[in-house]
Amino acid sequence: MDFCKTPAITLRRTDYKDSSQIITFYTRDFGKIQALAKGLKRSVKGISGGMDLLTYNQIVFIQRASSSLNILTEWALRDNFHLLRNNSRKYYSALYILELVREFTEENDKNEPLFDLFKNTLCEIADKGDPTVNTIAFEVQLLALLGYLPEMSCCASCKAKVDAKRLSSFSASEGGVLCTDCSRRIREKVKISGGSIATINYLAGKRVQDTGRLSIQSSLQVEIRKLLIYYLSFILNKKLKMWRYI
């Protein structure tokens, strides 16, 4: 048995028997893990009812080689992002980001930059950020970190240069924007403006701290959101639950 210590953000909690919970964490040092928290539903150091979603903690757990279910031995709350919980728009955006992390990650697949992006985005939304802009930035940067970023600089099919000043087409199955010629022969596609292409390319190359005060005009926000929902649903082969709330 190995004792492991790591920063962690809670992704899911499930009641287990009378007094315990199974907690899914996204950790900086071990990726996504599950841990059995024995007795956590009882009062712990003045906190009752278990561990909340969207909390940033320092945890210690016993890593078991014979099982994917680890044993949580200690946890200390670092930040509960309380400002998120006083604003439904921010809170739903944060829950959507949580759902993205949960769906796009595999257990024990460590990704420190993704953990930092996750935590920093929650901080930005809670403190001062525009939740829509921060959510779009998170989606684009998550895709970039995990190798799913669509081709937005040239035609995804023939690699020809795309005129960014004109209305273009985007195909999830082709993996990006299309030139005029390729667009004619591909049926599954949506329209995308040069402004959206430029914005996505800009966000892909920025850190989340640089996007906190970024402003995106409302028409582009709507277009990019629709495009990303279309693309993400193609990758995951399903619709996410939180889309109806954001």
Question: What are the backbone dihedrals phi and psi of residue 181, each rounded to the nearest 5 degrees, phi first?
Answer: -65, -45
Question: Three-state DSSP class for 218?
Answer: helix
For the stretch 27-71, pLDDT in tens is: 999 999 999 998 765 544 444 446 789 999 999 999 877 778 999
Tell me the whole-structure pTM to 2 decimals: 0.91
CA distances in angstroms from 100 to 161, 168, 217, listed in the order given: 31, 27, 24
Domains of the chain: 2-79 (2.40.50.140), 84-149+187-245 (1.20.1440.120)
Length of the chain measured in residues: 246
Which residue type sits at 115? F
Dist CA 28 CA 113 (whole Å): 8
Dist CA 190 CA 209 (whole Å): 31
For the stretch 121-150, pLDDT in tens is: 999 999 877 899 999 999 999 999 999 999
DSSP symbol at 141:
H
CA distances in angstroms from 139 to 132, 148, 214, 227, 237, listed in the order given: 11, 10, 15, 11, 16
pLDDT at 47: 43
pLDDT above 80 (res 1): no
Question: Three-state DSSP class for 147?
Answer: coil
Angle separating helix axes 194-204 and 218-236, nearest 10 degrees: 70
Number of other CB atoms surrounding residue 44 within 10 Å: 14
